[in-house]
Amino acid sequence: CGGSDDEPLKLGFTSLANSMTDACVVPPGYVAQVLGAWGTPLNDSAAEWDRDGKNTSKDLLNSTGMHHDGMHYFPLDGSSSEGLLVVNHEYIDEKALHPAGPTTVNNKRPAEEVRKEVNAHGVAVMHIRKTGNAWAIVKNSRYNRRFTSATPMALNGPVGGTDWVKTPYSPTGTTVRGTNNNCGNGTTPWGTYITAEENWAACFVNTQASGQPAHQVRVGVPTSAGRYKWETAAGDATEVQGEFARFNVTPSGTSALNDWRNEVNGFGYLVEIDPYNPDSVATKRTAMGRFAHEGAAYGKPEAGKPLAFYSGDDSRFEYIYRFVSDANWDPADARRSDRLAVGTKYLDKGTLYVARFNEDGSGTWLPLTLAAVGKDGTKLGDKYKTIDEILINTRAAADFVGATPMDRPEWTAVHPSNGDVYVTLTNNTSRNATTGTNAANPRLNNANGHIVRWHDTPNANTFKWEIFVFGSDAGAAADTNRSGLTTLNQLASPDGLAFDDRGIMWIQTDNGIDGGRNNAVARATNDQMLAVIPGAMTTDSKGTGPVINAQNQGDLRRFFVGPNEAEITGFAYTPDYKTIFLNIQHPVNWPAYGTNDATTAPTGTVRPRSSTVVIQKADGGPIGV
């Protein structure tokens, strides 16, 4: 059913209708199973998930976390029926996590509640196995692991070991506790996982009356309270080494070694994890920049050439970055077992660039180096003294060199054979007459988002780009619905984005429906996953497009629709393409109790659980074709 090698790849399912129910929808002939919903025990140290929210912080430390996001399937011995599923846990639904939501006693969050929330964040490594048609977690496997917002991690690259990151916990500035708000993900050609720290700034607070460092202002560290007020648990009798105090980065002592002012500088990075080695230490790769990383996709590796990694900074008018390694790719490194040492070789030394999308369909990668010349003709080295200072201030350095402000860059994905790079620009309703448009972000009040693609090589600092598809509702005027989308593939707020190795691109949406159905697509359907098989870019792009237009939009098909108010995110698949995995994040009334069928709506009200959904064909064939 996948066709022989000389037949072109074709999508083999009919596009789904809009859906707004408390259940998942898959095409006829497919089945969908709930796997690893939040609170699922990974080992015997955790109690089973409790419907009343009574699980403890220890349970969460030993269970799947909350708000599943980016993920990847790492096969064991190449297997398509046994592997390690690594899943990001981006943030939490405090109401669902605790019996009756979060509490505060005398203006303080209880330490146990904060620990439970900290442990619900991070990353899970889950050993999973298929028996018959059913996938399950292999409980107590030595591979099962949780990384939380408190797990010790290494700080590598130019920022590691500098004064920026010295704290009472790490006077040498080489370690930090935790990874936060892990949104999209990446992988490496040597078999490791990359988790992206996105909205980490919100978990901290700096209440100093004036003089908040410019880099904290630029990333939006709150000035009155942290997002979950974790800092208010400081001083609890059970607190260990400032485990709560560290979230308050207001200077209070005489130096960084007696207060937590530098704790926040240990966040905002891409973090490398070796899922195959349960004893390995997660490592923050600071050379790849510090911002609201959405994810990281690597360019097609070529022997003897540098590696490139692409990462969007998801905030309105922020930028797209490329990291290029100093080391040239040696394919033998793909087979080494000391994977994090390979990471150190390629990810700790290199050059970070930011993208400028020119009006004529060309683009320029602007290096963020001391020698880089800014818009005003002065050098970045006149503004910042060292490369670590540039990296701490990545966004401001990108402003300085004149990068193109984008409509919220989310995931990047790279075509497996032609190497074209795609990025989702989820939406930007703040793009108006005052901010202006640019050729790569051409719509005012961009409520629907779009996808841009480009082609480059790590040895060149120029590229060609074009718009791939414009999100829109089917009924919008032609100037909005520039891709001619219909009710069967209308989409808005593209976010998750991935290729499988066959060349099918999977597009996932996040309309923020939990905040109200704020665009016409969200008023017509729940968030969804679509599939498309893109052709290669031509080299004479003028930045026009869209590639998907009224003539060929039928090739963009809706494969999946999620339950009410949930975002669809994270994509993984087995090497035989017979199982795919996606994540349901922040549902409000799903999954149903008493079944693991993802397409069953609950009867009545349930405590919601973000979860992975496993999709297979009932006849066991490859997915999508």
Least spacing, CB of residue 582 vs Ca ion, in Å: 12
Q: Which does 456 bind (CB under 5 to 8 A by kind): ligand FEO, Ca ion, none?
A: none
> Apex CA 587: angle with CA 179 and CA 29, to 5°?
110
Q: For 373, phi and psi rounded to 5 degrees?
A: -95, 130
Whole-angstrom distance between the N-terminal and C-terminal Cα of the chain?
Answer: 7
Helix (H) or strand (E) holding 466: strand 462-470
Which two three-digit tokens encode residue 540?
Answer: 């004479």
Least spacing, CB of residue 380 vs ligand FEO, in Å: 27
294 binds ligand FEO (CB under 6 A): yes
Structural contact between residues 355 and 456, judged by C-beta atoms closer than 8 angstroms:
no
How are beta strands 567-573 and 579-585 bridged, if at all? Answer: antiparallel
The DSSP output letter for 373 is: B
Helix (H) or strand (E) holding 196: strand 193-197
Distance CA 50, CA 39 (A): 8
- Closer residue to Ca ion in complex, CB, 89/455: 89
Least spacing, CB of residue 320 vs ligand FEO, in Å: 13
Least spacing, CB of residue 197 vs ligand FEO, in Å: 10
Q: Which residues contact 20 (CB under 8 A, 6 or more apart)?
A: 524, 525, 526, 564
425 binds ligand FEO (CB under 6 A): no
Q: Is 209 helix (H, G, I), strand (E, B) or coil?
A: coil
Least spacing, CB of residue 423 vs Ca ion, in Å: 12
The number of angstroms, rounded, from the C-alpha of 41 to the middle of its chain's C-alpha atoms is 24
Paired residues of 328 in beta bridges? 306
- Closer residue to Ca ion in complex, CB, 36/484: 36
- Closer residue to Ca ion in complex, CB, 70/405: 70
Least spacing, CB of residue 497 vs Ca ion, in Å: 9
Q: Which does 568 bind (CB under 5 to 8 A by kind): ligand FEO, Ca ion, none?
A: none
- Closer residue to Ca ion in complex, CB, 393/583: 583
Q: Which of 115, 123, 97 is nearest to 243 (CA)?
A: 115
Structural contact between residues 307 and 220, judged by C-beta atoms closer than 8 angstroms:
no
Residue of 198, 473, 500, 565 that binds ligand FEO (CB under 6 A):
198
Q: Is 352 helix (H, G, I), strand (E, B) or coil?
A: strand
314 binds ligand FEO (CB under 6 A): yes
Structural contact between residues 459 and 444, judged by C-beta atoms closer than 8 angstroms:
no
Burial (0-12, 13-18, 19+ Cβ within 10 Å), 545: buried
- Closer residue to ligand FEO in complex, CB, 190/581: 581
Q: Which does 397 bind (CB under 5 to 8 A by kind): ligand FEO, Ca ion, none?
A: none
Distance CA 616, CA 293 (A): 31
The number of angstroms, rounded, from the C-alpha of 129 to the middle of its chain's C-alpha atoms is 25
- Would residue 150 be called left, alpha or beta, if left means φ above 0 and alpha means ψ between -120 and 50 degrees? alpha
Burial (0-12, 13-18, 19+ Cβ within 10 Å), 459: exposed
Which two three-digit tokens encode residue 491?
Answer: 């989409």
197 binds ligand FEO (CB under 6 A): no
Least spacing, CB of residue 569 vs ligand FEO, in Å: 7
- Closer residue to Ca ion in complex, CB, 263/510: 510
Least spacing, CB of residue 586 vs Ca ion, in Å: 8
- Closer residue to ligand FEO in complex, CB, 111/507: 507
Q: Is 118 helix (H, G, I), strand (E, B) or coil?
A: helix
- Closer residue to Ca ion in complex, CB, 186/350: 186
Distance CA 401, CA 399 (A): 6
- Closer residue to Ca ion in complex, CB, 272/495: 495
Tokens 């609170």: give the residue. Answer: 39
- Closer residue to ligand FEO in complex, CB, 59/294: 294
Q: Which does 389 bind (CB under 5 to 8 A by kind): Ca ion, ligand FEO, none?
A: none
Distance CA 257, CA 265 (A): 14
Least spacing, CB of residue 125 vs ligand FEO, in Å: 20
389 binds ligand FEO (CB under 6 A): no
Distance CA 228, CA 37 (A): 22
Which two three-digit tokens encode residue 458?
Answer: 């790590």
> Apex CA 298: angle with CA 292 and CA 299, to 5°?
130
Least spacing, CB of residue 511 vs ligand FEO, in Å: 12
The site for Ca ion (CB under 5 A) is made up of 69, 90, 183, 410, 495, 510
List the interface residues with ligand FEO, window 325-364 (CB under 6 A).
none
- Closer residue to ligand FEO in complex, CB, 384/411: 411
Least spacing, CB of residue 293 vs ligand FEO, in Å: 9
Q: Which does 231 bind (CB under 5 to 8 A by kind): Ca ion, ligand FEO, none?
A: none
- Closer residue to ligand FEO in complex, CB, 148/181: 181
Q: Which does 348 bind (CB under 5 to 8 A by kind): Ca ion, ligand FEO, none?
A: none
Tokens 């892990």: give the residue. Answer: 182
410 binds ligand FEO (CB under 6 A): yes
Residues that contact ligand FEO, how many (by CB under 6 A): 7
Distance CA 281, CA 495 (A): 29
Q: Which does 500 bind (CB under 5 to 8 A by kind): Ca ion, ligand FEO, none?
A: none
Q: What is the DSSP string of 298-348?
A: EPPP-TTSEEEEEEEB-SBT--EEEEEEEEEP-GGGGG-S-HHHHHHHHHS
Least spacing, CB of residue 88 vs Ca ion, in Å: 9
Q: Which does 198 bind (CB under 5 to 8 A by kind): ligand FEO, Ca ion, none?
A: ligand FEO
Q: Is 354 helix (H, G, I), strand (E, B) or coil?
A: strand
- Closer residue to ligand FEO in complex, CB, 410/473: 410
Least spacing, CB of residue 428 vs ligand FEO, in Å: 12
Binding mask 52-91 for ligand FEO (x = CB under 6 A): --------------------------------------x-
297 binds ligand FEO (CB under 6 A): no
- Closer residue to ligand FEO in complex, CB, 574/585: 585
- Closer residue to Ca ion in complex, CB, 165/522: 522
Q: What does the radius of gyration of the chain's CA atoms come to, in whole angstroms? A: 23
List the interface residues with ligand FEO, window 482-541 (CB under 6 A).
495
Least spacing, CB of residue 447 vs Ca ion, in Å: 13
Least spacing, CB of residue 186 vs Ca ion, in Å: 13
List the interface residues with ligand FEO, window 150-189 (CB under 6 A).
183
Q: Which residues bind ligand FEO (CB under 6 A)?
A: 90, 183, 198, 294, 314, 410, 495
